[in-house]
Structure 1
């Protein structure tokens, strides 16, 4: 009894009222080579087509360039106000530009805006050289970061998205990167919603048309080359739900915007993000043996969100599974089991259940008395 592993399952939230099941039509078919729609809170993919097909990312590459720069700023290795000297390589690069000049000294934060808003190839190379010494070494850092984020089918060759052999990604990987941009660097993510950025007297608009069309859209990035077609990664928030749409390989600037709108409209119309539990919320109390306290609260280590059909809250069920009898001492946050959330019998979340507070070990006589009680209960259990 004392050392056996057992699973006690408790119904924490289950409403069994009869109701009409949510009707969800088939997702829209887009005129794009690949696309994906996901819930940014949960990572749940709602729509996908060719999501794992490797394609050239064009300037969507700059999402990773900006992510790494933001990461370096947060770590303190560089600062927003650092002055970056513009090299001839950065100045000479063709394509979209911030229009910096050779020898200019430009603040990191201005170059970051040049990357995000103006899609400047010159700004991207300048930042890559500032962070890593050269664009080639920076590309290695990009690939290392992609691996850390779980972008399994991505390989970067440069910091700009300039066409190069082997410079490839997927819609799924770009969705992962977009989630990371929003979650990991919220202060810099706000730059993605800026409609204009001026440098050297040149005022350039953000190429993301949806920033003008839909007030819910607050980012993220466009891309275009002849090989990649017209691409867009967009994010929008409505009623507490953030969606990320990735649309790759359309045939025009207008089409990438309109096709992305179709995905976002579908997601917001038929799905919702539902918060099941809050971090540190006590879900249940459990018996603790040999402790100064005989009970401990059970909570979850992080907020629990699930993506469900709109109006489908009544179909959610959550089970608490405790992995064995609990013995003091226990520390706050110590894993004790898990909470499994299901929707219509399908698991939609599986998170650690943890001790909500510390339970110190009791004195000798209290521990002895608990041991006797456990022994007796074992005899009659």
Structure 2
């Protein structure tokens, strides 16, 4: 076990070094672009002035004979025969027929418009980048909707958990006497749908990268082909750098499989992978976030949860509660594919031109909690961090009898204490 952890830590260190190199390269690129934007207009203005001066000097030095000949033609009203022939041809064509001719010409304009007509929106670059996303659903008649509802096909399960007389409050210390560091927490028994323990579970927090649990759930419900590919863009790689986000390590112009984007979103909490998924599915992040908020509404959580981005970047209007995140986590593990992604301890992406050996990814939370005494096994986990919410995490575990639990905590003052809080809660309540 120790040897395996050391190997993974070495891989993580290589990954950190690669990400740091990418950050430095991105910093140089942005610096160059800022200088270019600053001085390019000045250079363009100088070139324009030079061209005007050059054109003016040519006019001033034009031979007088040519000028006199041009003036004579203008005065006499003479026109070149070729010009008259051309005008007559155009006139005759317009008289002959011309509704069909106009239609043909307009069709040609459409074909030749190329860049304007064929330019794919962001997310359709490289030909097939939205081919895996679900197309717009056909409209269903009112009768059809009633039939679907009767069949149960149109019902979205709403996840809830109840406070009972046995629900225990969590303070600075647990009943065991052990210290508890997180300021917000909830532990849910999935068999009974009861809240076993809580601490300010309904208070508003910023969910940080726990947001990505909903990101992969919405994406998983809308992706058709996991083997499809997406071309990483400069805008996507810039986004993570500018907002100081963690990264999976994908590079500009890299052809990444959709499957790899899912794992890149969860294991290293990659903003590049999450944003690429959003663009692939919806065309842009804004539209994808609308889909996320519709999902929140379907889950019955719209009164206390709202998202403004798919990554977890801090925003006053990007908020949730640890209770709501527990319900989102429950919805995610009910999706077999999402559960599989969040269960992975390690993963290596497919070989690409930029990464011939793939990128080694690991779920730091799962690798660090697996040797803790939890009274069972922690199956899935997704961490997060922003200054306003400290270290936070959402996890799913089963005890020795197979009973399932979800734990969500926020605002611990270190990731290790966040992990410690999850282990302590599972241990105390899984054994009762």
- TM-score (ref. length: structure 2): 0.54
The one of 330, 336, 340 equivalent to 1:190 is 340
Q: Does 1:128 align with 2:281?
A: no
Quote the residue 2:426 is aligned against: 264
The aligned runs of 1:12-31 (5 Å cut-off) are 28=174, 30-31=180-181
Check whether the contact 1:59–1:223 (CA below 8 A) recurs between aligned residues: yes
The aligned runs of 1:196-275 (5 Å cut-off) are 196-199=346-349, 200=355, 201-208=358-365, 209-213=368-372, 216-238=377-399, 239-270=401-432
CA RMSD after TM alignment? 1.9
Q: Does 1:172 align with 2:329?
A: no
Report SS of the residue matched to 2:222: helix
Quote the residue 1:153 is aligned against: 304
Name segments (4+ residues, structure 1) moved above 4 Å.
23-27
Check whether the contact 1:224–1:231 (CA below 8 A) recurs between aligned residues: yes
What residue ranges of structure 2 are gaps of 5+ in the alignment?
1-165, 350-354
How much does 1:212 deviate? 4.7
How much does 1:127 deviate? 0.4
Quote the residue 1:329 is aligned against: none
Distance 2:192 2:279 in 1: 35
Report SS of the residue matched to 1:157: coil
Check whether the contact 1:230–1:256 (CA below 8 A) recurs between aligned residues: yes
Q: Which has the larger radius of gyration?
A: 2
The one of 184, 194, 215 equivalent to 1:44 is 194
How much does 1:202 deviate? 3.5
Distance 2:211 2:322 in 1: 12
Distance 2:369 2:326 in 1: 18
Structure that is richer in strand per residue: 1
The 3 A distance-change label for structure 1 pair 198 and 48 is: same
Check whether the contact 1:190–1:218 (CA below 8 A) recurs between aligned residues: no
The 3 A distance-change label for structure 1 pair 245 and 134 is: same
Distance 2:428 2:182 in 1: 16
Distance 1:42 1:180 in 2: 16
Check whether the contact 1:61–1:159 (CA below 8 A) recurs between aligned residues: yes
Structure that is richer in helix per residue: 2
Distance 2:168 2:310 in 1: 40
Quote the residue 2:227 is aligned against: 81
Distance 2:249 2:168 in 1: 47
Report SS of the residue matched to 1:72: coil
How much does 1:181 deviate? 1.0
Check whether the contact 1:232–1:248 (CA below 8 A) recurs between aligned residues: yes
- TM-score (ref. length: structure 1): 0.61
The 3 A distance-change label for structure 1 pair 39 and 88 is: same
Equivalent pairs counted in the alignment come to 243
How much does 1:231 deviate? 0.3
Distance 1:24 1:249 in 2: 21
Quote the residue 1:18 is aligned against: none
Check whether the contact 1:232–1:256 (CA below 8 A) recurs between aligned residues: yes
